[in-house]
Amino acid sequence: MWLTRFFRLRQQSINHYITYSVITAQPALTYTSVLSTIRCYAITSGDLEGSTFVEYTGNFSSDADAGKSRSHEHDSSDLHANSVSH
């Protein structure tokens, strides 16, 4: 089980995003810090019209390497399989 405390740095409802930083995590992070943003985009045409595309970006501290940050990656087929209708 993951237990994480976040500090919300910025939220904007008009542009549908939130930026946050991890304060503590259980189990502990293997790097010093990460600043993350989750942004949602409405899909307005095509086969997925009426769904939402979710974008995650993370800026990791310099002590994080690719292996340590892989837990934040998802392959694009996961995004399609987990699309959300509004």
* Kind and range of the H or E run holding 24: strand 17-26
Cα separation, 86 vs 30, in Å, equals: 36
Residue range 8-36: mean pLDDT, rounded: 82
State residue 79's pLDDT score.
43
pTM for the complete prediction? 0.60
Q: Residue 76 and residue 40: Cα distance in Å, rounded? A: 15
Residue 29 makes CB contacts below 8 A (sequence gap 6+) with 22
pLDDT at site 2: 54
pLDDT at position 4 is: 61
Spell out the domain ranges in the chain.
1-61
